[in-house]
Amino acid sequence: MPNFTQNQLQKITTDIFEAGGVPSDEAEIIGELLVASNLAGHDSHGVIRIPQYIGLIDAGLIQPGAPMHIERESTSHALLNGNWGFGHVIAQKAMSLAIEKAKSSTISAISVYNCNHIGRIGSYPLMAAEAGMVGITMVNAGGTARYVAPFGGSDGRLATNPLAIATPTRNGHPILLDITSSVVAQGKIRVAFNRGEPVPLGWLINSEGEPTQDPRDLMESPQGALLPLGGIAGHKGYALGLMIDILGGALSGAGCSGSGNTRLQNGVLMIALDIANFTALDDFYEHVDGLIAHMKASPTAPGFDEILAPGEIEARQTERRQREGIPIDDETWRQIQETAMEVGLSELKF
């Protein structure tokens, strides 16, 4: 399994997208965000996506360099038409706009449609946390990617509709919730499928509605479904996924599951909250730090070494992979090299 430094993997990614027709400033953003996912340990949203995104560019479904239009706007909100540009680029601009607006309006909401897949959604609320704000991002799939069974159902009707919330802390890394409303992201099934490994019980049902550990039951036909978050309380994950479908897809006009849409997109909602306009930042940090310390002081249950804050695993993994390198599985590396050849890079320099 090859191992790369952050810089090497960013260069590989940026070079492939530039050769694939993406303007260099956009290719840089994509390289940065895909590799940040790998660094954080979310390989499902990292460079494994290069072949998929290049395929979408070739098919004319991602239009690199497309200008983003603000269609409606007030001091505290905007509706953006992404014009089918690169999702990561649109999403980064949308959260930047949310942060700018929240500086004067305290709270802002930006809704986006005609936007391709934005990747790991936790990247965007982290931008707000870095600006001393709370950031919230949620997306649906514009009515496509119907992988998740409704609670009590036996086929895929919803996308994995994720929610991410980040809040700054005084000294440590931000607290980051970044979760799908399904048990796991579909990309995690793709990673297991590429590796030929089984997935844990409780993630999937097959096309008969029976529990299965075989990723082929989602990746191949006849297709089963991912289960909603929550196990025996799956009604909560289902309800969460449904609300995210509405806030991501109905508010923006991207479309909800059942709309009959076939073109994959992320219907996006970005929210920024300027903490300092509610309370002194110092007081806020004191509450947050105290809360986390209180959690960590809980005596650990059998099988656990410590209590973690949301986002801590990713922050630690990022530090480790920045030090030790990012391992890329052989099948993913083979696909990346193949894609490089397809866009005319006979040799990858890194």
Site residues, ligand NAD (CB under 6 A): 42, 44-45, 117-122, 139, 141, 160, 162, 164, 176-180, 184-185, 187-188, 266, 308, 310-311, 313-314
Residue 69: DSSP 8-state: E
Task: Say how far apart CA 86 and CA 112 lie, in whole Å.
Answer: 13
Asked whether 200 and 207 are in contact (CB, 8 A), the reply is no
CB of 130 closer than 8 Å to CB of 218: no
Work out how close the CB of 39 gets to ligand NAD at its nearest, in angstroms, rounded to a whole number. Answer: 12
Q: How far is the CB of 63 from ligand NAD (least distance, A)?
A: 18
Q: Which is nearer to ligand NAD, 101 or 120 (CB)?
A: 120
Q: Pick between residue 19 and residue 308 the one whose CB is nearest to ligand NAD.
A: 308
Q: How far is the CB of 112 from ligand NAD (least distance, A)?
A: 12
Our CA angle for 120, 126, 132, nearest 5°, is 170
Q: First-to-last CA distance in the chain?
A: 17
Q: What is the phi/psi pair of residue 104, to 5°?
A: -100, -25
| Comparison of 31 and 241: residue with beta carbon closer to ligand NAD | 241
User: If you search the block for the tokens 């909560």, which residue do you land on?
Assistant: 236
CA distance 246 to 249: 5
User: How many other CB atoms are found less than 10 A from the CB of residue 305?
Assistant: 6
Three-state secondary-structure class, residue 72: strand
Q: Which residues pair with 81 in a beta bridge?
A: 69, 113
CB of 145 to ligand NAD, least distance (A): 7
Cβ of residue 292: shortest distance to ligand NAD, in angstroms? 11
CB of 281 to ligand NAD, least distance (A): 23
CA distances from residue 176 to 85, 112, 160, 179, 350 in whole angstroms, order as listed: 27, 22, 18, 9, 32
- How near is the Cβ of 129 to ligand NAD at its closest, in Å? 13
Quick one: 77 or 316, whose CB is closer to ligand NAD? 316
**Smaller CB separation from ligand NAD, 19 or 307:** 307
Rounded-to-integer distance, Cα 304 and Cα 165, Å: 25
Q: Which is nearer to ligand NAD, 188 or 343 (CB)?
A: 188
Q: Label residues 90-104 b or e (16+ Cβ within 10 Å = b).
A: bbbbbbbbbbebbee
User: By C-beta, is 22 or 148 nearer to ligand NAD?
Assistant: 148
Shortest CB 221 distance to ligand NAD, Å: 22
Between 38 and 335, CB nearer to ligand NAD: 38
